[in-house]
Structure 1
């Protein structure tokens, strides 16, 4: 007869208590309550806000497209701002992203370039737009410059990271043929990063199209200026019409960007 060997039974709890996590969640809950009390949140303000919101929405319907010429001109200007800012921003981002790639550039070039990219990413486009409006005045030029800065901060960072993630074997194979640095970029780097770069560019165009509305509110031109003017005049039905056009434009841009990624990748 075979003898059965008795294995020791592990009587420890299957889910051990993590008191560090519990204390952390409790501290977070206490801080949320404290922050809400400091910011003046109250049930009375929420109820009053709901009532004001209902009256506001009532005044927005039905949408008024009677000023369609103003809406069309604002949308056209926003589209021009987004396209110009994206094109110029991409052209500037290409060499900046290349210089920020640590696998192709020495540290004395890549780290200052990365610091410049971080500086461009430090501020929201609205803040940059306000600075340009103060510097060069109201109009589309201030909006274009603000979105160029935003495009540089986004595209350069992602482009540099895409270059750092490429396969070194293809680059070394091109270098083994005695090719120069420019040939290495064209034959070894560009084929590996081109599909991702097209995706970055289409996303940035879509982002600039949305941000062109925000920079227009602070004086950067485009449909945002028309939207802000309608708010000031209490033409809330015109505001709703502008919002509908903006949403429709963003949806069309999303469809076109998805089509472009499928075609060019």
Structure 2
């Protein structure tokens, strides 16, 4: 057998380890469905109930538009405040967590703090703040600020660690201080990526602000939860349509901003 035939056989040789892993995954999925009582009968019943539920949501009821607008504005305010505070606090955290700029004695505990901010889901954090400071938008702003810090600071630190140190060392060689090094050596290399991170976090907080309200942290989520409890499904549909429209609008605006910065 010539070398070309041997190479072809090796190129298309079966990967028995991968096949075994897929078979094991399939077997475990069937086992897990049985443990969780996921059956075709339950799915069929659920689809039927879902059809009746969707029928009760149509047509959407926008008669209480004042209540809807009030909740949407509060969600937007929560998202903007949380994003601004989270980004502002993430700047020093990202710089301190970058291992190419900070010593290990500073970067290690900073990274641990960032990991702590990311370890709990923002809804759980919102519940904790609701219990600590009471119902309202303040709890939502605090919870989403913590979530923003955990996300932005981590990505910002990783972006700084990927920069070219030659530019930083050149500015240091001129005798420039720390502020000048960061302003002229670090920031120009990460500005576009950092802007993208910030826009994504704002977009994410707009979605998340509608969810924290369900646990009492302000915003349209509280209005949505109250409508569900009243079985006011046509108003629920109006709220959901408004939330989807808000997210689409935010996506269009952020896309225009990214395009303008290229």
TM-score clears 0.5 = yes
1:163 matched residue in structure 2: 160
Give, in angstroms, the shift of residue 26 of structure 1.
1.3
2:143 corresponds to: 146
Match of 2:237 in 1: 240
Distance 1:256 1:136 in 2: 34
Given the two structures, how large is their TM-score scaled by the length of structure 1?
0.95
Alpha-carbon contact 1:198-1:264 (below 8 Å) kept: no
Asked if residue 13 in structure 1 is aligned to residue 9 in structure 2, the reply is yes
Q: Equivalents in 1 of 2:64, 2:5: separation in Å?
A: 77
**Structure 2 residue 252 is matched with structure 1 residue 255:** yes
> Tell me, what secondary structure is at the counterpart of 2:216?
helix
The normalised TM-score by structure 2 is 0.96
2:115 is aligned to 118
Out of 41, 55, 58, the position equivalent to 1:58 is 55
Q: Taking structure 1 as reference, are residues 8 and 138 closer, same or farther at Cα in structure 2, changes over 3 Å only?
A: closer
Q: Report the aligned-residue RMSD.
A: 1.5
Query: 2:128 maps to which residue?
Result: 131
Q: 1:200 to 1:7 in 2, by over 3 A?
A: closer
CA distances 1:219-243 after superposition (whole Å, capped 9, x unpaired): 1110000000000000000000000
Which residue number corresponds to residue 201 of structure 2? 204
SS in 2 for 1:220: coil
Unaligned runs of 5+ in 1: 1-5
CA drift at 1:185: 0.5
CA deviation vs aligned residue, 1:107-158 (integer Å, no higher than 9, x gap): 0100110111111111111111011111111110000000000000010001
Cα distance, 1:261 vs structure 2? 1.9
Shift of the alpha carbon at 1:25?
A: 1.4
Instruction: Give CA deviations for 1:43-89 in whole Å, capped at 9, x if unaligned.
Output: 11001101100100000000000000000000000000000000011
Alpha-carbon offset, residue 159 of structure 1: 0.5
Which of 61, 74, 78 is equivalent to 2:75?
78
Classify 1:235/1:106 alpha carbon distance in 2 versus 1 (closer, same or farther; 3 Å).
Answer: same
Q: Is the CA contact 1:102–1:164 (under 8 Å) kept in the aligned structure 2?
A: yes
Greater C-alpha Rg? 1
Partner Cα distance (1:9, 1:260) in 2: 53
Deviation at 1:19, TM superposition (A): 1.9
Residue number in structure 1 paired with 2:175: 178
